[in-house]
């Protein structure tokens, strides 16, 4: 099963993607996480993309094609994946359809996550991440037991470079101008389509999402 999680920065793609992965037993392909890992490791890909990621700009489509193709070709992706943060342009949506059709597959479900800009700005300003195991916290709504350390591995938490206030606003602008127009295209596709407002708590969001997936016959 191939699922696309779509929505503005901070709408909860990572949060609900990890939950879906647990429920469905298929991996998440989170393009932002993959790019940040490449930057951290100092790979050739990391060198090519870091100026875009730090600035909150979209990485060029041709580079994203290579990243996603490699992820889709991996052994762990053979039963399907949950895409978090891809596609983000019409050209990327077409690339994805093409890459999946080469495998005799297609997108099965699109989940649109929705939250207002004000909620997002507050959330992303208080997000903290573990640089070692990737766990994600929120100082207001989902805090670690100790404000500065990861509950899972004890590593000091950090703020993402692109979670500084001016970059958050820029990323939202990029989303509204370059990515949101894709919504119209997605809504016209003959696939299951869900809209989840994520302005409530994470637990409320998970409950609603689970109910919707049961209604679609994807979960029992």
List the catalytic residue out of 19, 36, 88, 128: 88
Contacts of 66 (CB under 8 A, 6+ apart): 45
Judged on CB neighbours under 10 Å (0-12, 13-18, 19+), 11 is: buried
Residue 198 to residues 167, 184, 215: CA-CA distances in angstroms? Answer: 22, 20, 19
Inter-residue contact 206 to 123 (CB < 8 Å): no
Q: Which residue has its beta carbon closest to ligand AP5?
A: 32
Residue 171 binding ligand AP5, by CB under 6 A: yes
Q: How many CA atoms lie within 13 A of 4 on its CB side?
A: 24
Closest C-alpha among 165, 159, 89 to residue 120: 165
Residues of span 51-80 touching ligand AP5 by CB under 6 A: 52-53, 56-59, 64
Q: Which is nearer to ligand AP5, 58 or 220 (CB)?
A: 58
Among 13, 26, 29, 213, binds ligand AP5 (CB under 6 A): 13
Angle (nearest 5°) at CA 17 between 46 and 34 = 10
Q: How many CA atoms lie within 13 A of 104 on its CB side?
A: 2
Among 79, 201, 207, 215, binds ligand AP5 (CB under 6 A): 201
Residue 136 binding ligand AP5, by CB under 6 A: yes
Residue 50 binding ligand AP5, by CB under 6 A: no
The helix/strand/coil state of 67 is helix
Residue 142 binding ligand AP5, by CB under 6 A: yes
Among 2, 3, 15, 107, binds ligand AP5 (CB under 6 A): 15
Q: Which is nearer to ligand AP5, 192 or 208 (CB)?
A: 208
Tokens of 126: 């208080």
149 is catalytic: no
User: Could you tell me the smallest distance in angstroms from the CB atom of residue 187 to ligand AP5?
Assistant: 19
13 is catalytic: yes
210 is catalytic: no
* Binding residues vs ligand AP5 (CB under 6 A): 7, 9-15, 31-32, 35, 52-53, 56-59, 64, 85-86, 88, 92, 123-124, 127, 136, 138, 141-142, 162, 171, 198, 200-202, 205
């Amino acid at each position: 099963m191939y699922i696309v999680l779509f929505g503005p920065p901070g709408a909860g793609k990572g949060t609900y993607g990890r939950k879906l992965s647990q429920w469905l037993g298929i991996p998440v392909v989170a393009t932002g996480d993959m790019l940040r890992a490449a930057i951290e490791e100092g790979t050739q890909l990391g060198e090519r993309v870091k100026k875009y990621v730090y600035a909150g700009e979209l990485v060029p489509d041709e580079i994203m094609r290579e990243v996603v193709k490699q992820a889709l070709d991996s052994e762990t992706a053979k039963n399907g994946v949950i895409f978090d943060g891809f596609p983000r342009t019409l050209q990327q949506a077409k690339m994805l359809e093409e890459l999946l059709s080469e495998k005799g597959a297609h997108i099965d479900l699109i989940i649109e996550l929705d939250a207002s800009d004000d909620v997002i700005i507050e959330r992303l300003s208080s997000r903290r991440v573990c640089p070692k195991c990737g766990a994600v916290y929120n100082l207001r709504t989902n805090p670690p037991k100790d404000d500065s350390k990861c509950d899972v591995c004890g590593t000091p938490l950090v703020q993402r470079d692109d979670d500084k206030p001016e970059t958050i606003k820029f990323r939202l602008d990029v989303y509204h101008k370059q990515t949101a127009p894709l919504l119209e295209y997605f809504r016209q596709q003959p696939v299951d389509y869900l809209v989840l407002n994520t302005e409530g708590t994470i637990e409320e969001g998970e409950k609603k999402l689970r109910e919707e997936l049961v209604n679609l016959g994807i979960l029992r």
